Chain A
């Protein structure tokens, strides 16, 4: 899909339509199970003012468009204190037809185009990305330092493991685990080494669409030149960006899978066999980018039929992204197949999962907000009764582990691939650590 998926006229129409009903502050009303875990918005939970909600941001977009508010630090400080987790959109779109997340993203895009956004810290990582291909400003040549010498990489493989900046530089254990699992399954895979560049997600989500387009073209040029057929991602953010955002600007012909989807297939095919008991009680955190926002936009080329004044329908109905097609079953199926492991759920899961608090530039520009959100999620994980928190995203991993540390929680955090390694009997040391807390 290369046509504009959220045209300017839709934006201008929708910003006048907020009902100011506050539904965007909570998970879908029929899913509320307690007062404590009813809310869905990290920014609202921290800053309280309505301006921080999905609806408040729509009002701000309207006020900006009408010239009622001018660009200012105050404005940027609200607009960018949002992880773009999309939970407000799920709650709103339960019945309504607005697109709060699209509006939030387009508003940022406008602020960048008008010369005001993003935040200084985000500008700095954008520059780093342009210079050294990663937002952490790490040397590009060290991108594959995570790769142990005993891992087999096949340069001719048409299956590519796209490692991503965070796993390459910060969460190396995830990259190592993913690679070892593929070796254990006997699946030949390649990595790009020097030709792997940031996917562009960190800049896209701050509204710098032009820098993002440069990045996506760079990546797609490489992948197409190598004839890649399938790309595997262990980073939910990179996966979402390739799967959902890239096709909005440029089409490609390869398949994209998150490791949980791929590993589930390998388990089904009998290529991965769990041999070792992992007697722990875990709860699974759905990353936003693997869940509700990981729904690809479906091209719609239908007609709008005016049935009567003020009432139109789309023929055929326009596909509506409401989080239903996120990757929810694969990680749960894997966890449920690990011998001895017990999975218990938090109250807010799947399409209404609570965000870890790190995304869309928040971790760099507003680290305090990221930690406070993470602590909220940690508390929910503790209340589930689990003693291990597991997820499938390096960015969530970093922020949730920071939250665990800051809150003094006894929870341990593992990426799902690490648990798979334990169940394969490949990481006995980690297994000992994991089971030390007991189940």
Chain B
């Protein structure tokens, strides 16, 4: 709870109904998915609750956010901002923290269909923005987390691979102008938004050094470097026509497939083959989804229940599967893309199982277009989390995947994580194959203590393995402990990060449990 006088000052900013420091509300905001194993990794009790925030506050404007942060500085209270709120990164690391729930900041400020960008506030969801962009024949990059996640959060503060990454890239690469409330309460406007005359959102940089790199880098600061209140993000042509007719009932809706959409799933038969073929498909730029997933994951993306998943065992035998979904706006474009794919299939002697051995439900195509495929990861045990998160060349991503298999199998044998033969992986390219992303989704049971502990130990070992075997940085290297472990192996980047943190957050009020603190003793390590 906040002291009465302090509470009053916050109430004066947002109104009394938009701040709550009672036990009931603050306990709800102390919960999150995966917090149990994060707690365990930090040597705490493996429960799904983080430290309880002092209060939850719901600002509605940038000015209110600014005033709140100034009060946090005045009273040395930390703040943690969240939008749609999925994952432990939204949690406070101390009970001297308040949560800024940005739910009321939910406007689509504009869609500039000519210059292919949109400006959104914090709580606009991916599906909401996409629905509006579709009216202009456009779409937006959505992270693997799914369409319910906030594009602002993904673009400014989190990692950002998505199923449509071959076409729509990575969140970090799609950020344009940004309105950013710094941890000291000043407002920063990045790029063309900072122009004195005619400020606008079309670019994120100006003549000076790129502040986008400081703002987020590859994985984002998870609110550890301030609060982002508006962001300009790139839009992309929608892969097919945007007519979107669904009849019937959930989940197996009858989706009227657009005229020009086609899916391919084939077995590349070997790691080498997979690398070669994936690069080739990317080079040809024919698919808006090009994902390597495990045999079990192929079963999962076509399933709507665990029983349905088990019916698809025949799909699970694929050793090195590749999923390609292509879309086109014209018959000519579609014919061309199909010809290219046919050439590739012939050249590498591949067999597309879609519509030959397996006919997907129609709703599968809707889910491809609306970024829903990630949900299917929850079918087996109700919970999963990914280890790894490399962003590199295809060869390195595949090496990371291969070397992870024995480690994963060890934890499968311990019955801590579900059996995917150790092969569970998702790999996608960005921007037509310029670089790749690989992560290792792992199914565990968050209500089972043994599973939670096993998952935490697996994540820890997986991180260490990446370090020892030079496999690049996983995306969940966050918090002082892990940065201190990784920094010395990577040009002491953590010292630079601390300097940035100290410069931007002199009072250390931006809660940095999932970022880095500026503490002096760490600088010299």
A residues in contact (CB < 8 Å) with B: 13, 16-23, 25-26, 28-35, 38, 48-51, 56, 59-60, 62-63, 66, 68-70, 72, 74-75, 78, 90, 93-98, 307-315, 317, 320, 322-324, 328, 350-352
Q: List 5 A-B contacts (CB under 8 A).
A: A21-B86, A60-B27, A78-B25, A94-B251, A351-B250
Judged by a CB distance under 8 angstroms, whether B382 is at the interface is: yes
B290 on interface, CB distance cutoff 8 Å:
no
Most buried by B among A29, A94, A311: A29
Q: A28-B250, A60-B24, A74-B23 are in contact. List 20 more A-B contacts (CB 8 A).
A: A13-B447, A20-B87, A22-B125, A22-B148, A28-B251, A32-B127, A34-B128, A49-B103, A50-B29, A51-B28, A56-B28, A62-B48, A70-B23, A74-B22, A78-B25, A90-B250, A96-B375, A317-B307, A323-B249, A324-B249
The answer to the question of B32 belonging to the interface, with a C-beta cut-off of 8 Å to chain A, is yes
Shortest CB-to-CB span from B67 to chain A, Å, is: 19
Set B24, B25, B363, B451: member contacting A30, Cβ < 8 A: B363
Do most interface residues of chain B lie in helix, strand or loop, or is the interface mixed? Answer: loop
**Which of the 9-residue segments B162-170, B229-237, B415-423, B485-493 touches chain A?**
B415-423
Looking at the complex, which one of B86, B130, B416 makes contact with A20 (CB distance below 8 Å)?
B86
By the criterion CB–CB under 8 Å, are A311 and B381 in contact? yes
Distance from B111 Cβ to chain A, minimum over Cβ atoms (Å)? 10
- Please, how many residues of chain B have a CB less than 8 angstroms from a CB on the other chain? 78
Task: Flag if B33 contacts A20 (CB, 8 Å).
Answer: yes
Interface check B58, CB cutoff 8 A: yes
The answer to whether A32 and B443 touch across the interface, beta carbons within 8 angstroms, is no
Q: When the two chains form their complex, are residues B86 and A22 in contact, meaning their CB atoms are under 8 A apart?
A: yes
A residues less than 8 Å from B47 (CB atoms): 66
- Pick the interface stretch among B190-198, B364-372, B391-399: B364-372
Contact with A along B274-290 (1 / 0, CB 8 A): 00000000000000000
B31:A63 contact, CB within 8 angstroms: yes
B42 CB, min distance to chain A CBs, angstroms: 19
Pick the contact of A352: B33, B147, B250, B310 (CB < 8 A).
B250
Q: Residue A59 contacts which of B20, B31, B308, B415 (CB distance < 8 angstroms)?
A: B31
Query: Are B48 and A311 neighbours in the complex by a CB distance under 8 Å?
Result: no
Across-interface contacts of A38 in B (CB, < 8 A): 125, 127-128, 131
Provide the bound-state CA to CA distance between A87 and B512, in Å: 36
Set of chain B residues within 8 Å of A314, measured between Cβ atoms: 307
Tell me the smallest distance from the CB of A352 to a CB of chain B, in Å. 7
State the Cβ distance, B373 to closest chain A Cβ, in Å.
10
Q: Mark B443-483, 1 if CB is under 8 A from A, else 0.
A: 11111100100000000000000000000000000000000
- Chain A residues lying within 8 Å of B448, measured Cβ to Cβ, are 310
Which residues in A have their C-beta under 8 angstroms from that of B148? 21-23, 25-26, 29
B24 touches A20 (CB 8 A): no
Pick the contact of A311: B129, B375, B418 (CB < 8 A): B418
Q: Which of B31, B253, B255 contacts A62 (CB 8 A)?
A: B31
Point out the residues of chain B lying under 8 angstroms from A68, CB to CB: 23, 27, 49
Q: Which residue of A lies closest to B99 (CB)?
A: A50
Q: Within the complex, what minimum Cβ distance (angstroms) separates A323 from chain B?
A: 6
State which of B125, B305, B447 has its C-beta within 8 Å of the C-beta of A16.
B447
- CB-based closest 10 A-B pairs: A324-B249, A309-B415, A16-B447, A317-B307, A35-B128, A95-B375, A51-B28, A22-B84, A74-B24, A59-B31
State whether B246 touches A34 (Cβ < 8 A).
no
Partner of A29, one of B48, B255, B370: B370
Given contacts A22-B85, A22-B148, A351-B249, contact A313 B451 (CB under 8 A): no
Given contacts A16-B446, A16-B447, A21-B33, are A30 and B307 in contact (CB under 8 A)?
A: no
A residues near B499, Cβ cutoff 8 Å: none
A59 contacts which chain B residues (CB < 8 A)?
27-28, 31
Contact code string B501-521 (vs A, CB < 8 Å = 1, else 0) = 000000000000000000000
Distance in angstroms between the alpha carbons of A311 and B250 in the assembled complex: 24
**A309–B419 CB distance below 8 A:** yes
Contact in complex: A310, B250 (CB < 8 Å): no
Partner of B310, one of A31, A32, A307, A309: A307
Task: Give bound CA distance, A94 to B361, whole Å.
Answer: 14
Residue of B nearest to A68 (CB): B27
